[in-house]
Structures are given as structure tokens and as C-alpha cells.
């Protein structure tokens, strides 16, 4: 029986993925900052993990030695004008979205490599491919984690360990309510920022379900040779081919028009 570890498995995409894997017969470890508050889920064992705390990650070193599948899902969504993003908020975001998942993956890889089998799934965002104003910090973290994944897959595929990135578009998971937002009271960006945020929330409310993303993650895991990237939601099957054909300026304009920021 393969063992899967899914971070951020108490809600949203993480919970849907953990539940789907358990239903398919995997032994599933799910993480939560407060596992004692999570309702029991059949086939899912919850472990404590706070990605903002390096010692919390290191505490899982022994448990992850037997993990065959790692889904790095936990993360923070952040927005704000570039010039007004606080340094401490940026450092926390990169710790949670990039450095924490990278370190957890480093702890998990030796066991996968030695057994000759492994799957590492980074849950990214389509915004890494279609950057959006006032989301620069979030875009940067998702581009970074995809970069780690794309490079590492060449190092580990000879050992049967495959890295892949799943990029969701607009997903209806309630993340709008948890997104951190930074803007000064007298910001010159406020009008455009609030317009973008309203559109972002509207798009997410009408977006794909967490279950659809989970199904994509499970399908990637079960491929003999997972692709470098899978995208789901926001008409991904159409917009990625279109992006290859359109000039960069037009792709940017269409992205911003979708968020009521067309110039």
C-alpha cells in the first residue's frame, strides 16, 4: 500500500485530495496546524504541521521517510500593491508557500529514491503562467515552487520519482475569505485594487470545485510518467494553447480584463 502525505488537508483542495486518495486505497497522512480540531475522516491520519515554523517541519522527518506520494498543497493566498507589501508578510509568504514545502520535500525524497518510486505534486496556480496586478507576491511564490519542481524532476525521474505541478485557476474553496490583503489607507492604488479584488472573489465563487482539482492531482499521481504541469479550471484547456499563440501583451490584457483591470 502506497503512503501519501497531503499538506493543508483540513479543508479545500487538501481535504478533497486526502479524501480521494483514501477512497482509492492509499494510506493517507494529512497535515493541519491544529489536527485536534479536524473532524475525523475515514482513512486519513492527521499530523500537526505549521509551515511557518521550521522546527514543525523537522519534527516530521521520521514520519516522512515512508511516504511515497507528497502533495504540497498548504499555502497562503496574498494580495496587495507591490510598493505596499510589508517585508514580514513577504517573508512569511515565502516560508509557507516555498521554503516550507521545499524542506518537507527534501526530507521525503531519500526514501522515495531508495525505494525507486515517488510522486511529488506541487499545487501551484495558473497565475504563475498568467500574472496579475496586485497579486505579485503570490504569483512569485507559485512561480518559484514550479521552478523547483521543473528542475528537480530531471534529477529524480531516473530514480522513478516524478515531480509535477498542478495549477488551478479560479477555484471555489472559500479561499477568498482567508486571503491576506495589504494596502495603505491612503493608497493611490485603492480603486483599481478593490476592483481587482471584487472580480477575483467573483471568479473564485463561480470557479471549479476542490473535487475537480483533487481529481486532477490523483490522475497525475497515477500516471506512469506524470507531465511537468497539469492545469484545471478557468478554461485551462483553451487558455494555455491560446497563450502560446497570442503575443505576450495580448495575453496580459486578457488576464487583466478578466479581473476588471483592462486598460
- Residues 91-129 have pLDDT tens digits of 999 999 999 999 999 999 999 999 999 999 999 999 999
Q: CA distances (Å), 115 to each of 3, 41, 65, 107, 159, in order?
A: 12, 28, 10, 14, 9
Is 26 marked active-site? no
The reply to whether 138 falls in a domain is: yes
- State phi, psi for 178 to the nearest 5 degrees: -105, -5
> Does the model's pTM come out above 0.75?
yes
Does 243 have pLDDT greater than 80? no
CATH number of the domain enclosing 176: 3.40.50.720
The reply to whether 112 falls in a domain is: yes
Residue with grid cell 514580514, as numbered in its chain:
88
DSSP string, 91-103: HHHHIIIIIHHHH
The reply to whether 132 falls in a domain is: yes
Q: Give the number of domains in the chain.
A: 1
Q: Which three cell numbers stand for residue 48?
A: 500537526
Q: Which three cell numbers stand for residue 4?
A: 501519501
Which letter does DSSP use for residue 3 in this model?
Answer: E
The reply to whether 159 falls in a domain is: yes
Residue with grid cell 488576464, as numbered in its chain:
255
> Can you tell me the mean pLDDT for 55-76?
97
The reply to whether 207 falls in a domain is: yes
Helices assigned H by DSSP within the chain: 12-23, 54-58, 87-94, 100-115, 136-156, 190-205, 210-221, 236-245, 248-258
Catalytic residue among 46, 134, 138, 230: 138
Does 172 have pLDDT greater than 80? no
The reply to whether 61 falls in a domain is: yes
Q: Which residues contact 162 (CB under 8 A, 6 or more apart)?
A: 118, 119, 120, 153, 156, 223, 225, 226
> Could you list the residue range(s) of the whole structural domain that residue 117 is in?
3-258
The reply to whether 263 falls in a domain is: no
Q: CA distances (Å), 260 to each of 102, 161, 201, 212, 233, in order?
A: 34, 41, 12, 26, 19
Q: What percent of the chain has pLDDT over 90?
A: 77
The alpha carbon of residue 204 and the mean position of all alpha carbons in its chain are separated, in whole angstroms, by 15
Calculate the average pLDDT of the chain: 93
The reply to whether 28 falls in a domain is: yes
pLDDT grade for 239, boundaries at 50, 70 and 90: confident
Does 222 have pLDDT greater than 70? yes
pLDDT grade for 242, boundaries at 50, 70 and 90: low
Does 72 have pLDDT greater than 60? yes
pLDDT, position 173: 73
pLDDT, position 249: 77
pLDDT grade for 176, boundaries at 50, 70 and 90: low
**What is d(CA 105, CA 97) in angstroms, rounded to the nearest whole number?**
13
Does 263 have pLDDT greater than 70? no
Amino acid at each position: 500500500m502506497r503512503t501519501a502525505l497531503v499538506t493543508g488537508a483540513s479543508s479545500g483542495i487538501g481535504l478533497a485530495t486526502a479524501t480521494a486518495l483514501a477512497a482509492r486505497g492509499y494510506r493517507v497522512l494529512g497535515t493541519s496546524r491544529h489536527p485536534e480540531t479536524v473532524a475525523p475522516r475515514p482513512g486519513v491520519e492527521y499530523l500537526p504541521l505549521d509551515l511557518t515554523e521550521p522546527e514543525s517541519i523537522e519534527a516530521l522527518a521520521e514520519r516522512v521517510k515512508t511516504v511515497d506520494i507528497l502533495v504540497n498543497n498548504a499555502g497562503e493566498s496574498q494580495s496587495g500593491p507591490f510598493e505596499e507589501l510589508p517585508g514580514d508578510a513577504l517573508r512569511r509568504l515565502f516560508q509557507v508557500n516555498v521554503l516550507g514545502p521545499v524542506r518537507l520535500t527534501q526530507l521525503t525524497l531519500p526514501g522515495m529514491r531508495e525505494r525507486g518510486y515517488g510522486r511529488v505534486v506541487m499545487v501551484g496556480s495558473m497565475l504563475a503562467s498568467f500574472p496579475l496586478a496586485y497579486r505579485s507576491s503570490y504569483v512569485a511564490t507559485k512561480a518559484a515552487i514550479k521552478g523547483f519542481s521543473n528542475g528537480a524532476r530531471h534529477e529524480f525521474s531516473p530514480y522513478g520519482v516524478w515531480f509535477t505541478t498542478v495549477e488551478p485557476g479560479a477555484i471555489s474553496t472559500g479561499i477568498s475569505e482567508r486571503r491576506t490583503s495589504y494596502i495603505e489607507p491612503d493608497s493611490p492604488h485603492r480603486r483599481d485594487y478593490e476592483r481587482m479584488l471584487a472580480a477575483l472573489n467573483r471568479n473564485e465563487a463561480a470557479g471549479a470545485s476542490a473535487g475537480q482539482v483533487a481529481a486532477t492531482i490523483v490522475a497525475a499521481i497515477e500516471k506512469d510518467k506524470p507531465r511537468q504541469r497539469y492545469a484545471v479550471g478557468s478554461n485551462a484547456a483553451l487558455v494555455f494553447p491560446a497563450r502560446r499563440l497570442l503575443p505576450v501583451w495580448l495575453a496580459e490584457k486578457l488576464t487583466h480584463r478578466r479581473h476588471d483591470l483592462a486598460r
